[in-house]
Amino acid sequence: MILTIDVGNTRIKGAVFEGDILLEHFVFLKKEHKNNIQNILKKYKKVSHLVVSSVGELEKDSFSHYNNHLKVDFISHKDPFPFTNGYATPQTLGIDRMVLAAGATLQFPNQNRLIIDVGTCVTYDFVDENDVYLGGAIAPGLRLRYESLHNYTAKLPLLASKNPDSFIGKSTAESIHSGVVNGFAYEIDGFIDEYKAHYSNFIIILTGGDTEFLAKRLKNTIFANSNFLLESLNQTFQYKIKND
């Protein structure tokens, strides 16, 4: 069994895999990671590898004590990946984006892939049908948009995400929901349309914490999987074992 851990900007996501089968997944705050990981390992005593990707501020030493009873693997830029990295600054490319690109390459061969990860930030990553990672885009995620309206204005309230009833907001709260949610959906559809105008033979993968909230608002046909990063982390590790 393998326990995959993704350390994000705000939360940690984890999943236990047996082969390619996801047995259970977890989400918890970074400050709670020790107790939560220990509880997972108590429940799944056959876990032999802890596989970690991290873009958050959590050092490798935080996982070092697990080395006593299982093998800890950190996915890094030095590992083998199933695509050619065409990014102009490959060392600055986030490990989470590389793992997503690897998962898309392995799961959907011989086609163009656009992976959209809607978390604290929204990232767009494109791997072409020749398995070349070309790059993408980074923008503020849904929550950051709500927070920026509150933090950088004098009177706008901080609201929780809510699907607007109409594109016409009839109150300040409705106007914020319309601007943030509709604007975000229009942005994502606009990016997709631009890629589709230049490439065919296409699959679009939507993942991340806001997947379910946004999926039905997009006009483009997508493959929605909120656990795609964790599945990709498992597949990236399996690929690393076979190609080291």
Q: Which residues of 190-219 are buried (b: 16+ CB within 10 A; e: fewer)?
A: ebbeebeeebeebebbbbbbbbebbbeebe
Q: Which one from 96, 117, 125, 210 is the annotated catalytic residue? A: 96
Sign of the C-alpha dihedral, residues 153, 157, 160, 163? negative
Q: 194: which strand partners?
A: none
- And the tokens for 14? 């984890």
Q: Which residues of 1-14 are buried (b: 16+ CB within 10 A; e: fewer)?
A: bbbbbbbbeebbbb
| Helix segments in 67-152, DSSP class H | 95-107, 142-151
CB 211 within 8 A of CB 191: no
CB 37 within 8 A of CB 127: no
Residue for token pair 């072409």: 128
Active-site residue, 96 included: yes
Residues carrying an active site annotation = 96
